Copies of this chain bind each other. A is one copy, B any other.
Amino acid sequence: MIITVTLNAALDVTYRVPSLVPRATNRVLETVERPGGKGVNVARVLASLGHRTTVTGFAGGAAGRELRRGLAAVPHADLLTDALVPVAGRTRRTVAVAAEDTGDTTMFNEPGPAVSPAEWAAFQDVYRELLAGPDTAAVALCGSLPPGVPVGAYADLVREARSAGVPVLLDTSGEPLRRGLAARPDLIKPNAEELAGLTGFSEPARAALDARRRGARAVAVSLGAEGMLALPEDGGWRARPPAALRGNPTGAGDSAVAGLLSGLAEGLDWPQRLARAVALSAATVLAPAAGEFDRAAYAELLPKVAVTPFG
């Protein structure tokens, strides 16, 4: 069983509009809602890959109820366990306004719910119990922190996982990433921009080395259409998709996390993990619905990802 943690889960809403006209009234042609937040997205992909996955974090308010209802209705929902902790505050919505005329998307991200100290303590209890489960194979800590959760939260959660002997992946940015690193997560998966923000180095290999120095045992950097670069504890690998892909990159990073995490849980070696992460990521870009992956494209791309030693 794999655990994904999404402290700032979201209900992702897409509005299809003929055109986005500022200062006017825009008629929405269609509304689509799906459970969201990085760890929730990772869990959906893990379930699609056949991994039993437990989703935890916080959920509250009307959007929280819709999120939980949606989670129970995703494909392979039988493999997903909802262990979200209720909060009095309201789970945020993200609204993506997709304009038909230009093909552009404009995002509106609501603020997350205010989490009380008692709610944060309740989450930590649930988290500890999940880590102690008999078949817990790995945990992913994903995304931003809602108001009220201490900025050092991920450092605490990394420490707990390490004490429990559960491999832990941290996928966040900014100060929560900086603090989390000090607790020595097994793997971080920043993109090049997040890694540059952390280390001050714009060159990904140099920045990844620096992130390892700061505490990460392994670093996998997503390079968008260029694939991924990984610096495990020893050696290094570069993985490239077979061709540049056009499509919607929403969720591609979360699919990469699911690839790395499932590979880790299955005991795959690094080149296999990276090939899976890059193929899943590319198959997500190619899927018509944002955040889903195209299963046929994944099967076709997987053997075509070129993984070469690096450094």
Binding site for B on A (CB under 8 A): 15, 17, 20-31, 62-63, 65-66, 90, 95, 97, 104-111
Contacts and interface: CB of A to CB of B under 8 A. Distances in A.
B65 A108 contact: no
A245 to B, nearest CB: 20
Contact of A66 (B21, B27, B62, B110): B62
A111 B65 contact: no
A16 to B, nearest CB: 10
Nearest to A27: B109
Stoichiometry, as copies per complex, reads 2
A111 B29 contact: yes
A217 to B, nearest CB: 31
Contacts of A65: 62
Contacts of A110: 15, 28, 31
Given A62-B65, A65-B62, A95-B95, A111 B26 contact: no
Nearest to A63: B62
Contacts of A30: 111
Nearest to A96: B25
A97 B107 CA distance: 11
A26 B108 contact: yes
A26 B109 contact: yes
Contacts of A28: 108-111
Nearest to A17: B108
5 contacts: A15-B110, A23-B104, A26-B108, A27-B111, A62-B66
A20 B108 CA distance: 9
